[in-house]
Amino acid sequence: MEKRLFVWSTVDASKKYIPFIVIEADGETARELTERKGEQLWLFIANKLEGTTIIKNGREIEIPPYFNEYKRKNLFWYNNVLEAYEEAYERLKEEIKEQLEDYYDDD
């Protein structure tokens, strides 16, 4: 079965996407990641990854549950975006191109 890649990014205060992790999924999981939107998408991801530890920039990060002990959404689950890998790749290429154009003039 064909695997699909998704890029999970966080959104900073200036609305810039910062890649967090790449998720590899196939079959039913890939379909769910494609079809779900908003809170249902992130609740699905949280249920799949809760308790998983990832290493990001040399730090261990444990994926928390979606809801905290007060039945409120954990802060971890705010300001996230999930994109198909190809879309994220094209967006990042354009961002880098714009940064280079801003830095270098026509000379």
Question: Which residue, among 21, 3, 29, has the nearest Cα to 81 in the 3D structure?
Answer: 21
**SS3 track for 60-72:** EEECCCCECCCCC
Q: What is the pLDDT of residues 15-24, one digit of tens each?
A: 999 999 999 9
Is residue 13's pLDDT more than 90? yes
Q: What is the pLDDT of residues 23-78, one digit of tens each?
A: 999 999 999 999 999 999 999 999 999 999 999 999 999 999 999 999 999 999 99
Q: Is the pTM of this model over 0.85?
A: yes
**Cα–Cα separations (whole angstroms), residue 80 to 17, 98, 106:** 9, 23, 36
